[in-house]
Structure 1
């Protein structure tokens, strides 16, 4: 009888071990696959030769909505099974208040249908990214998963350059921006987006090297750096170097307030010397003295129009993601017809105000600017101050800086928004839980 019991017990243990192995594979495959989907999307290597090419996030793509809807259910279920306490910590007053204001702007939107559709995808992406960072059981797992995803993305982009250069490199025949001919874009729709993602991937390479994956990390750094150079993303390259320098300083400075001054002052200056130049003549004069295009490649016209439009709806804005390309833009004067076809204002903070009003912008600054920095400080003070905290800080800070020139905050499944959110939620969890090695 004892032999039968022992045999039965062994079978039960073996079955449990096998189930655990299967779940480990499911967790890893879900993390890597979802991250690659967030980066590459369901529509990689788009042709830019069609003048009718629209915004891939118009809210009418059933496949994208269905995929992220299913992934949100899967990743949340896995996160609850793996670490339900982590998800519960997201019910903070700041997140709840921000979510409530978001819903109010949908109700008051100029185009409620568009706002609801776009918000539904944004909510799914938020749920996916919040859950994704809870899937690894250790920093070792997370490090390997990030490295696998980064190398896979680089492989896809480089294969595109080799096998389908007309779909991976900007061409002189592209009707929209022929001046970008020769710039690499890989699987992405524009070289600016490709350059920004390569910077974030480069940060992951540095993280891999610092965590012990020397060979994989060095390969990621080399391949991402080369792609960044050939994409000619000057803004991303400059911001990359600035972020690496400024975040390195935080290793020697422990004060939260001094860290905040060092990291956030450049963010303030970037916005003052960009959108601020169309608000104050003195700032415009200063920008003309600096060694770059004072019109920011024509962005000043967009900023001026956006600010003028914002004045009419300072409190509530025009509704979540429902200003550009909507009925809110009417009776355009001569010379401003382009505004009816613009996709965004090339400034994430200004676009947030247009969609959610000034209160929405202030809440976004609270949850995406102030709290993540505070979470990094808490993680550092709590002993979670290793390579993981640093790479999350770098991705987060780079996203903040880049948003002074680009718009991706709350932008549904945008790869920059997707990666930025991983850093925001990662810092949130590191501030509350001890990361297992």
Structure 2
């Protein structure tokens, strides 16, 4: 009888793990479809957005009960801050310069948030592992695309830069950069992306080579910073001293050789003095923010005639800075709510280590937010991934502190062990009662 129950529990555990892995994979692929190269309607990725919305609705209908059961996560810190930001973004359609666009883009944010909350009970380990695997596939597909259709896989610029299946070198750098960070976080926690160690190491090499091929200078530096932070948080105290000394030495070397380094980093066709035009965008946006200081110009309104005067023949898609973009579109109120969510994402679930994979990615998107937009603008791939990870950390925070990580094996084993212990106690009580009678 006990053997049969144990087998049944193992079968149930295996099925649950497979279901979690498959679900995580679908969510990640759906998020990627927001930004991969694909058919366009006009200048926007409307076709990709339609596919994402269809997959999101399918996933929600598949687990309609979980949508209701996990609603409490919406009101847990820091998800409640993002919930408030989404409400404010949707409300901005009332005063937006382009209300239809604001309503559409804010609606997509809400859809992604509900999706994240509905699947917040997926163990963080499965989400992290599947993301690293999918990021590796994206990197491999990008190099394959270079062989098959080089004109689409490389930026048509004076500098050779790989954009692969993501259609833009910055998007590809964000995806593979986050993949590197998750890979390191998994390895530090004692897990692997792939069961085969050689294959696992090759995946990391492929991700690094792909990141370098994008020639995204800031994102590459940010990946190195976050990886260093992950290692620093987990290594022995003596090694932390070595890391600190190494960082001090590196800073001193960069300071001494700053001019030579900047000349090496400079790309043909780019302008480091203006950060490739970013400073012009920041100046223009900051000059307009005071006129709509509290409420902003409406969510999704940056890429519109409002900012057409920044350049003579180019309209910037966003402010190339998370907080400037958020303040421009949703005012200081929206920027504060978004900042609270991101800062909260660094610490949510720290008590039981449920955010060991979330906080490094949150830190990465915050650093990238100084030079680009992941949060604070329209829905993107990492917006979905980070929101799901933070929601999982918030959901897992209710787990007992004695459980080091809310992965499927720990939780299901704990439940199985409890049930077996209960049955053993019941048998012992019945035996004592029988003897007493």
- Could you state the TM-score of these two structures normalised by the residue count of structure 1? 0.72
In 2, Cα distance between the equivalents of 1:67 and 1:123? Answer: 15
Q: What per-residue deviation string (whole Å, max 9, x for no partner) do you get for residues 383-423 of structure 1?
A: 42xxx633322111010010111122154441232233234
* Alpha-carbon distance change, 110 to 290 in structure 1, aligned in 2, over 3 angstroms: farther
For residue 63 of structure 1, report the CA deviation from its aligned partner.
Answer: 3.6
CA distance in 2, matches of 1:239, 1:134: 30
Please give the secondary structure, in 2, of the residue aligned with 1:337: coil
CA contact (8 A) 1:320 1:355 kept: yes
Q: 2:92 aligns with which of 105, 112, 117?
A: 105
Question: What's the CA shift for 1:186?
Answer: 1.5
**What is the distance in 1 between the residues matched to 2:112 and 2:36?**
18
Q: Which runs of 5+ in 1 are unaligned?
A: 1-5, 172-177, 255-261, 263-286
User: 1:78 touches 1:135 (CA, 8 Å); kept in 2?
Assistant: no
Structure 1 residue 233 and structure 2 residue 216: aligned? yes
Deviation at 1:60, TM superposition (A): 9.5
CA drift at 1:143? 5.4
Change (3 A) 1:162 1:55: same
Q: How does 1:217-296 map to 2 (within 5 A)?
A: 217-251=200-234, 291=262, 293-296=272-275
Residue 158 (1) aligns with residue 143 (2): yes
Look up the match of 1:37.
30
Distance 1:212 1:64 in 2: 30
Ranges in structure 2 where 5+ consecutive residues have no aligned partner:
238-243, 245-257, 267-271, 411-437
Q: Contact between 1:28 and 1:145, CA under 8 Å: does it hold in 2?
A: yes
Q: Does 1:429 align with 2:395?
A: yes
Out of 174, 180, 196, the residue aligned to residue 202 of structure 1 is 180
Aligned to 2:117: 130
Deviations 1:148-183 (A, max 9, x none): 433433332232223232222223xxxxxx224x21
Q: Which residue of 1 aligns with 2:166?
A: 188
Matches within 5 A, 1:318-397: 318-326=297-305, 328-329=306-307, 332=309, 336-338=311-313, 341-369=315-343, 371-375=344-348, 379-380=349-350, 382-384=351-353, 389-397=355-363
8 Å contact kept, 1:94–1:367:
yes
CA distance in 2, matches of 1:288, 1:321: 39
Aligned-residue offset at 1:424: 2.9
Could you tell me how far apart the structure 1 residues matched to 2:42 and 2:168 are?
A: 12
Give how far 1:115 is off: 0.7
Q: Which residue of 1 aligns with 2:280?
A: 301
- The CA distance in 1 between the partners of 2:82 and 2:35, in whole Å, is 31
- Further displaced range: 214-223 or 12-21: 12-21
Tell me which of 111, 115, 129 is aligned to 2:102: 115
Secondary structure at 1:71's aligned position in 2? Answer: helix
How far apart, CA to CA, are the structure 2 residues paired with 1:92 and 1:231? 32
Q: 1:60 to 1:186 in 2, by over 3 A?
A: closer
1:317–1:86 distance in 2 versus 1, CA, 3 Å: closer
Per the alignment, in what secondary structure is the counterpart of residue 97 of structure 2? coil
CA distance, structure 1, for counterparts of residue 96 and residue 216 of structure 2 = 35
Contact 2:98 2:298 in 1 (8 A): yes
Q: Deviations over 1:242-279 (max 9, x none)?
A: 1222343344799xxxxxxx9xxxxxxxxxxxxxxxxx
- Residue 110 of structure 1, CA deviation: 1.9
Note the C-alpha offset of 1:241: 1.1
CA deviation digits over 1:177-200, x for unaligned, max 9?
x224x2111111211211121110
Q: Secondary structure at the match of 2:116?
A: helix
Please name the residue that 2:428 is paired with: none
Higher mean alpha-carbon deviation, 347-356 vs 360-369, is at: 360-369
Output the CA distance in 1 between the equivalents of 2:43 and 2:134.
28
Mapped partners of 1:87, 1:362: distance in 2: 18
